[in-house]
A and B are shown apart, each in its own frame.
Chain A
Amino acid sequence: MKRLQDFTVGDTFEAFREVDSYRPIYYAAASGDFNPIHIDPQVGRAAGYSGAILQGMCTFSWLSDACVAYLGDPARLRRIRARFTKPVQVGDVIRFQGRCVALDGPRIALELEATNQRGEEVLKGAVAEGHLGEG
């Protein structure tokens, strides 16, 4: 596992996730969020979208996963927040980018971005904090 001395202000990391056609259903099964807007394209259209939209919390999980991959341990992530600014739909490919902006002892601060294949931000104001303890 990465240790404290392996982290530097200015580090960057990146992750990609594709919304395959069953992803909102898989996420519904695992999270319990079966809101029809996420699994029924007709309901999605009735709500003004072009079809079913991915659960925001799935996108948020991908953001968290990008941080966890960088931090090296799921338990190191201590805070995460973001605003959902654009719906994510089947077929979208989301690019997550992160940067270490501060290190204070074991405390680490990250700034994050998430954009779709058209370069549109699907999350804004995304930030996270970690604690680089062992275990």
Chain B
Amino acid sequence: MPIDRKHLGRRYGPYRFTVGPEQIRDFASATGGGVPGRVFSVAPERAHPWTWDEAAAAASPHGGLVAPPTFAAAFAIQPFANACADPELGVNVLRLVHAEQSFELEAPVRPGDVLETEGEITRIQDRGSLDFLEVTTETRNQRGERVVRGVWTAIIRN
């Protein structure tokens, strides 16, 4: 059943996320060919060293670890995920695929940052056998700086 367009503009959040250095390193490990965690972990040799190697990061212009840009997926996804799981929308998540993604990155994420993400449903479209659901998110840090704006699009096969 198509998603009711009355949900356009529905908002989710704010969701708070406190960034730890271990989370940044685990994300770099998982996406950089390593193994995350504290048990049998493996360094991510394919990730940029400033995202996981404390010594290399300390000697960088940033003076410490910075998150990989797509670490945004770990915190900014929440409004999108909650919209997809929202009983009011009635989406069958088994028929849902992530169809499109964009990030506009404005400030790097660092350990200790306290991030708040809010999101809004910005598109609901019924194209016959496919439904499109788009959620736009905005994340700010503890200084009020905009960190990332995300546009998350799902397709639901009816």
Pick from A32, A61, A83, A87: contact of B31, CB below 8 A: A61
Check B36 against A73 for contact (C-beta < 8 Å): no
Interface residues on B, range: 35 or more
Binds A, one of B1-9, B63-71, B114-122, B134-142: B63-71
- Within 8 Å CB of A58, what residues of B? 30-31
- Within 8 Å CB of A83, what residues of B? 99-100
Q: Does B105 contact A (CB under 8 A)?
A: yes
What are 20 contact pairs spanning A and B, CB under 8 A?
A30-B31, A33-B73, A47-B95, A56-B97, A57-B98, A58-B31, A60-B101, A65-B46, A65-B68, A74-B50, A74-B67, A77-B105, A78-B104, A79-B104, A80-B105, A81-B100, A81-B102, A81-B151, A82-B101, A84-B99
Please give the residue numbers on chain B whose beta carbons come within 8 Å of chain A beta carbons, in ascending order.
23, 26-27, 29-33, 35-37, 46-48, 50-51, 60-62, 66-70, 73-74, 77, 81, 93-95, 97-106, 108, 151
> Once bound together, how far apart are the Cα atoms of A87 and B50, in whole Å?
30
- Within 8 Å CB of B50, what residues of A? 73-74
Shortest CB-to-CB span from A38 to chain B, Å, is 11
Query: Which of A69, A73, A82: most chain B CB closer than 10 A?
Result: A73
- Within 8 Å CB of B51, what residues of A? 74
- B interface, over-half SS: mixed
> Once bound together, how far apart are the Cα atoms of A22 and B32, in whole Å?
13
Q: A35-B93, A82-B101 are known; give 12 further A-B pairs, CB within 8 A.
A: A15-B46, A23-B30, A30-B30, A30-B36, A60-B73, A64-B68, A68-B69, A74-B48, A75-B66, A80-B69, A83-B99, A134-B61
Pick from A29, A43, A56, A62: contact of B98, CB below 8 A: A56
